[in-house]
Amino acid sequence: MKGKFSLLTMKNFLNIREIKQLPKNSEFETMGLVSKFIRRKDRNDNPFWEITVSDSSGDIDGKVWQASGWRNTQGGDDFPIDPDNCGLKFEGASVKIHGNIAEFREQVQYNFTEISYLDQNDYPPKMFTRHSPVKAEILEELFMHLIAEISHEPLRNFVEAVFFKHGLWEKFKIWPAAVTLHHAYTGGLLEHSVSVAIGARDMAEHYETFTIPVNIDLIIAGSLLHDIGKLEAYSVNPAPQVTISGSAIEHIALGYGMFRRFAEIEGLDEDIAKALGHIIVSHHGKREYGSPVLPITPEAFIVSAADNVDFSLNYWKSQMDALNSDTDVTDYLPAIDRRLWRGINPA
């Protein structure tokens, strides 16, 4: 081991979840993967950085001010560096962080006061990547069962062709579903898609009981296909990143384009293609949430609702995991325009 910080000393560092449970005015040290690295300037033209650091327990967004220290600890060395002129790429790299917890405009703010670039051989970035909490083999088995549940043979064959004949599966099963907010980890896209499909299928069966005509085959197929555009909207480096296509076109439009190409190649019935395509382009439910159109069929209503519930519950869980144990309500969360409450104990 050449690095100054041996793996044995990692037990002295807090993980991201533990840091988020600390009270304000606390100091902390951690190690993690830089998943976002943006240089900005304040109103006085002084540089500062917005950095997101991730580990297997979560993500933390921090500010790095001009007075903060930057160091290179590769190969057993330890010397100060200028992040703008050191030749090191911080995004996607492993770092050690020293920081403190402050309050700004009644919100918690994490300030990173020292950032050390670690030896990437001793601390490979993949050791800090997050994974779905559900075992991969379980998710894969559920996915296969869901496809097998599609009783309409041409539709089942089409879904199988999209994922296996056209080679999406190997990427799909390890891809994240987002960069932040929900399922932003290895296997997140598969987990989210399976969860949406099961929730939407069960909801459809419920409403069939109440005489609402619902095509469950379309529900399952649409749920499994609704986010395929994320395969082009995101990349992994090794943390989730937004691609240029993801920024410029976004995953719904990308996914619809992919779907239409596959539908034409496979000769999918045009009425089925319209119904499936509508599910894909409407699944965010509202135009302000990114949907080009609003849901107008029972299947689209149900998939959109299941998608929103799965997003909301995954985001709620991540916030509760990070919430201090003696606190029951989060700070205001701009991403979902509300605070979140822990609620009562399910027991």
Are 24 and 102 within 8 A, CB to CB? Answer: yes
Are 97 and 29 within 8 A, CB to CB? Answer: yes
Report how many domains make up the chain: 2
pLDDT at position 290, please?
87
**117 and 140 belong to one structural domain:** no
**95 and 165 belong to one structural domain:** no
**98 and 175 belong to one structural domain:** no
Q: List, in sequence order, every beta strand (DSSP E) within the chain.
A: 27-41, 47-55, 58-64, 69-72, 79-80, 94-104, 107-117, 234-236, 240-242
Q: What is the pLDDT along the chain (347 residues), one digit of tens a residue?
A: 444 444 445 557 899 988 988 888 899 999 999 988 999 998 888 899 999 998 988 888 999 998 899 999 998 889 999 998 899 999 889 999 999 999 888 788 999 999 999 999 999 998 898 899 999 999 999 999 999 999 999 999 999 999 999 999 999 999 999 988 899 889 999 999 999 999 999 999 999 999 999 999 999 999 999 999 999 999 988 888 889 999 999 999 999 999 999 999 999 999 999 999 999 999 999 998 889 999 999 999 999 999 999 999 999 998 888 787 778 999 898 888 999 999 988 76
3-state secondary structure of 258: helix
The parent domain of residue 232 ranges over: 136-321
The DSSP call for residue 329 is B
**192 and 258 belong to one structural domain:** yes
Long-range contacts of 159-167 (CB under 8 A, 24+ apart): 159/221, 159/224, 159/225, 161/262, 161/266, 162/225, 162/228, 162/259, 162/262, 162/266, 163/224, 166/262, 166/265
pLDDT at position 3, please?
44
**116 and 180 belong to one structural domain:** no
Q: Specify burial of residue 162 (Cβ count, 10 A radius: 0-12, 13-18, 19+).
A: buried
**187 and 294 belong to one structural domain:** yes
**39 and 158 belong to one structural domain:** no
The alpha carbons of the chain give a radius of gyration, in whole angstroms, of 22
pLDDT at position 10, please?
55
Are 247 and 255 within 8 A, CB to CB? Answer: no
Is residue 346 domain-resident? no
Structure tokens of 336?
A: 């979902």
Is residue 146 domain-resident? yes
**123 and 214 belong to one structural domain:** no
